């Protein structure tokens, strides 16, 4: 049964990959493309995002929460160890927008 579900999911993924590739090669807007093929524009955006996110590999190898705490005011709450061995220390009170920017840069 699980095999049938994964086959169905793979077929659906392939179907949407083909639609996305067709739209990108058509020169049409997403809105026009979806309208011409009678499916909802939000479905197109959902699948495009889902399939793009699925293609991005995870780059973090380890999350180590057992790092000794430093005494200064900028205590490390979390330390991410990247697959390359580099460490990203995230302190208490870090700005969420800054953290998102750093994580996006690491994923690039």
| HEC secondary structure over the chain | CHHHHHHHHHHHHHHHHHHHHHHHHHCCCHHHHHHHCCCCHHHHHHHHHHHHHHHCCCCEEEEECCCCCCCCCCCEEEEEEECCCCEEEEECCCCHHHHHHHHHHHHC
Residues 19 and 47 in one domain: yes
Residues 76 and 51 in one domain: no
The tally of domains found in the chain comes to: 2
Domain span holding position 18: 2-55
pLDDT in tens, 34-45: 999 999 999 999
User: Does this model's pTM top 0.85?
Assistant: no
Mean pLDDT of the chain: 77
Q: Domain end: 55, 72, 87, which one?
A: 55
Which one is predicted more confidently, 104 or 67?
104
Residues 47 and 82 in one domain: no
Which one is predicted more confidently, 77 or 55?
77
Residues 66 and 30 in one domain: no
Task: Answer whether 43's CB lies under 8 Å from 15's CB.
Answer: no
């Amino acid at each position: 049964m699980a095999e049938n579900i994964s086959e169905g999911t793979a077929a659906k993924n392939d179907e949407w990959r083909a639609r996305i590739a067709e739209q990108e090669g058509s020169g049409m807007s997403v809105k026009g493309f979806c309208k011409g093929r009678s499916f909802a524009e939000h479905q197109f955006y959902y699948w495009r995002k889902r399939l793009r996110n699925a293609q991005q590999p995870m780059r973090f190898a380890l999350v180590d929460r057992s790092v000794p705490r430093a005494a200064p005011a900028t205590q490390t709450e979390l330390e991410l160890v990247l697959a390359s061995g580099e460490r990203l220390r995230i302190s208490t009170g870090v700005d969420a927008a800054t953290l998102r920017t750093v994580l996006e840069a690491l994923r690039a």
